Amino acid sequence: MSQDSKRLLQILTAQPVVPVVAVESAGEGVSLARALVAGGIRCIEVTLRTPAAIEAIRAIVGEVPDMVCGAGTILTPKQFTEAEKAGSKFIVSPGATVEVLDAARGSDVPLLPGSATPSEMMAMLQEGYEVLKFFPAEQIGGAALLKSIAPVMPALKFCPTGGVSMKNVKDYLSLLNVLCVGGSWLAPKDKVAAGDWAGITELAREAAGLKAAA
Ligand SMILES: O=C[C@H](O)COP(=O)(O)O
Ligand SMILES: CC(=O)C(=O)O
């Protein structure tokens, strides 16, 4: 399967913000996931940027049934397979290589590939992908860029990520080609390190109250 866009749409439209997190242990991942669920956020992207990521995905999938846990920063087929075996419900890549697309074709877990330019978006359409990550969103052109893509490639829907925060999130969520945004601001390093789970629940509650137009 190249992309189960129906399943991805279900996952991504269930909340306006998908927290993109890097965790230092499985226990930290579980506490974070519980704090986010308590604030109304039911989807998390655990990035493979720390050695604990795969164990954390496995633990969240096993111990926090109300959280839909995906894996992010997938750069290689090996990482794709590890994330899939850990129980990831979706897989996110900052871009799209032939190798990662091949791994996705052999898997039932939907891939959300990253794209940043019109040519990359056209290439993804050609591969049968209609739901894309837009990364790095703010740095590459922000909401204005995505707005200009809507009439040109109306089939595409995006999850912009990178530099998105409460300051600019509404610019993205007001676009008809934006399903939700991704961001690390719901899991600030200082709050996670301090175990300030109530503080994270508060950030999640604020984000969960936002509305996407798409
Ligand atoms: O996709 C991953 C990014 O690292 C999240 O970006 P951010 O930290 O700017 O929200
Ligand atoms: C940007 C990135 O690393 C990811 O979400 O896959």
Is 45 one of the catalytic residues? yes
Q: How confident is the model at residue 1 (pLDDT cuts 50, 70, 90)?
A: low
Q: Please state at what angle helix 197-208 crosses helix 26-38, rounded to 10 degrees.
A: 50
Per-residue confidence (pLDDT) for residue 2, from 0 to 100: 67
Index of the ligand 2 atom closest to the CA of residue 49: 3
**Per-residue pLDDT tens digits for 43-80:** 999 999 999 999 999 999 999 999 999 999 999 999 99
**36 burial type by CB count under 10 A (0-12 exposed, 13-18 middle, 19+ buried):** buried
On the question of pLDDT at 214 being above 90, the answer is no
Query: What's domain 5-208's superfamily in CATH?
Result: Aldolase class I (3.20.20.70)
Ligand sitting nearest the alpha carbon of 96: 2
**Per-residue pLDDT tens digits for 84-117:** 999 999 999 999 999 999 999 999 999 999 999 9
Percent of the chain whose predicted confidence (pLDDT) is above 90: 96
Torsion of CA 57, 8, 19, 207, to 10 degrees: -140
Mean pLDDT of 8-24: 96
On the question of pLDDT at 206 being above 80, the answer is yes
DSSP letter (8 states) at residue 161: B
Index of the ligand 1 atom closest to the CA of residue 138: 9
Ligand 1 centroid–CA 59 distance in Å is 23
Q: Quick check: bond before 136 cis, omega within 30?
A: yes
In this predicted complex, what is the ipTM? 0.92
Per-residue confidence (pLDDT) for residue 8, from 0 to 100: 95
How many angstroms separate the first and last alpha carbons of the chain? 25
Cβ(142) – ligand 2 distance below 6 Å: no
